[in-house]
Structure 1
């Protein structure tokens, strides 16, 4: 029960942090839909998930460590590919700045959840 409460608080914190980051950086909400980057983004997400899942058995002896490693690799790959595509195809929204600032916050949340589980 405590874990659920902490998880809800972390997700709420992440949501509020994103709103604050967007307000401070004056970043508009943007989408890659309708740009050539949408197709590239879909393919890159699929490839990232596939490669990350292949890494799990070799990442660690413990299943939880493997899952943490999976999410670390996935979050890092996804965030930087997404930020690059946003920078390239929708630079006027400055969405890439929000993605890059939210990456360390998401990573901290992932590590916090990992610490709660171990």
Structure 2
């Protein structure tokens, strides 16, 4: 139950950080798929997904918690980092990429420190 509460709290924190950052910067959210970078965004995300799905087997068979954590952190960093780059190139005038970068940093910090949460021992 504590894990569910933590997960919901984390989602609320991410939502609030995004809304506050967008309000401070005066950003109106747009999708990259609504710009001329639609095909590049689609293919880039697809290539990242295929690469990580093909390397997932090596992570699963290794049975290392640290390797698994860094695998998912790398995937998250590449996927959201790609989104930041696409927003910077195609939606540059709205500064939406700044709020996405802050969300990426926050997510990576939480994922890196996930081992330090005391209730995870009770779940696993």
Q: TM-score range by the shorter chain?
A: 0.7 to 0.9
Runs of 4+ in 1 over 6 A off after TM superposition: none
Query: Residue 54 and residue 2 in structure 1: after superposition, are their counterparts in 2 closer, same or farther (change >3 A)?
Result: same
Partner of 1:5: 5
Partner of 1:15: 15
SS at match of 2:40: helix
C-alpha distance in structure 2 between counterparts of 1:49 and 1:115, whole Å: 29
Question: Do residues 88 (structure 1) and 89 (structure 2) align?
Answer: yes
Question: Do residues 35 (structure 1) and 35 (structure 2) align?
Answer: yes
SS at match of 1:13: helix
Q: Which runs of 5+ in 1 are unaligned?
A: none
Q: Which runs of 5+ in 2 are unaligned?
A: none
**How big is each residue's C-alpha offset from its partner over 1:43-95, in whole Å with a ceiling of 9 and x where there is no partner?**
11111111122233334722654542332122111122111111111112111
Alignment of 1:54-93 (within 5 A): 54-59=54-59, 61-62=62-63, 64-93=65-94
Displacement, 1:39? 1.4
Alignment of 1:77-116 (within 5 A): 77-113=78-114, 115-116=116-117
Between the two proteins, the alignment pairs up a number of residues equal to 118
CA contact (8 A) 1:57 1:66 kept: no
| C-alpha RMSD over aligned residues | 2.2
CA contact (8 A) 1:18 1:102 kept: yes
Displacement, 1:27? 2.1
The normalised TM-score by structure 1 is 0.82
